[in-house]
Amino acid sequence: MKLSKTEEELMSHLWKLEKAFMKDLLEEYPEPKPATTTIATLLKRMSDKGFVGYELFGKSRQYFPLVEKTAYFSKHVNNLIKNFFNDSSSQFASFFTKETDLSKKELEELRAIIDQQIKKK
C-alpha cells in the first residue's frame, strides 16, 4: 500500500520524531502550518492503512510509525526498478548515475558502497 504525498510528508516527520503527539507533529511543519483537523484526518487514514499506531494518554494520542522508513522506500524503489527499468537494478543504477547531477565525491562514495557490497557476496 502507498501513502499520498501529504501522508508521506507527515510520515517523514513521524519517522524523524519516532513518537509524537499532534502538537509535536504540527511543530515540524513550516508556516503556514496545516490545520489540526487536516493532520488528524491524515493520521486516521494512515492508521487505517497500517502505517501509524498510537498509544492513549488520557484523551491524547501519541503516534508512532508501524513501518520502517527503509522498508517503505525500499519497496517503492524496487517497484520503480520493476516497472521502469525492466526489473534490472543495473539499468536503474546506470540511469541514476548518468541522469542525476552527482558530484565526483558522491560518485566515489557510491563506488565505495558497491565495492563493500561486492566483498560481502
Contact in structure between 36 and 26 (CB atoms under 8 Å): yes
pLDDT bracket for residue 51 (50, 70, 90):
very high
| Structural domain boundaries enclosing 87 | 69-120
pLDDT for 1 beyond 80: no
Is residue 59 domain-shared with residue 10, that is, in the same domain?
Answer: yes
Is residue 40 domain-shared with residue 73, that is, in the same domain?
Answer: no
pTM, rounded to two decimals: 0.74
Q: In the chain, how many H helices and how many E strands?
A: 6, 3
pLDDT for 55 beyond 90: yes
Q: What is the mean pLDDT of residues 32-54?
A: 96
Q: How far apart are CA 4 and CA 82, in angstroms?
A: 20
pLDDT for 93 beyond 90: no
Is residue 61 domain-shared with residue 74, that is, in the same domain?
Answer: no
Is residue 16 domain-shared with residue 44, that is, in the same domain?
Answer: yes
- Bigger pLDDT: 82 vs 52: 52
Q: How far apart are CA 15 and CA 67, in angstroms?
A: 9
pLDDT for 82 beyond 90: no
Is residue 73 domain-shared with residue 115, that is, in the same domain?
Answer: yes
pLDDT for 40 beyond 80: yes
- Bigger pLDDT: 25 vs 78: 25
Number of domains, the chain: 2
Is residue 87 domain-shared with residue 116, that is, in the same domain?
Answer: yes
Q: How far apart are CA 73 and CA 31, in angstroms?
A: 27
Is residue 110 domain-shared with residue 75, that is, in the same domain?
Answer: yes
Q: Which of 53, 67, 65 is nearest to 1 (CA)?
A: 67
Is residue 80 domain-shared with residue 47, that is, in the same domain?
Answer: no
- Bigger pLDDT: 54 vs 102: 54
pLDDT bracket for residue 59 (50, 70, 90):
very high
Q: How far apart are CA 55 and CA 57, in angstroms?
A: 7
Is residue 51 domain-shared with residue 79, that is, in the same domain?
Answer: no
Q: What is the mean pLDDT of residues 71-77?
A: 86
Is residue 78 domain-shared with residue 60, that is, in the same domain?
Answer: no
pLDDT averaged over the chain? 92
Is residue 57 domain-shared with residue 12, that is, in the same domain?
Answer: yes
Is residue 91 domain-shared with residue 43, that is, in the same domain?
Answer: no
Looking up residue 32, the CATH number of its domain turns out to be: 1.10.10.10
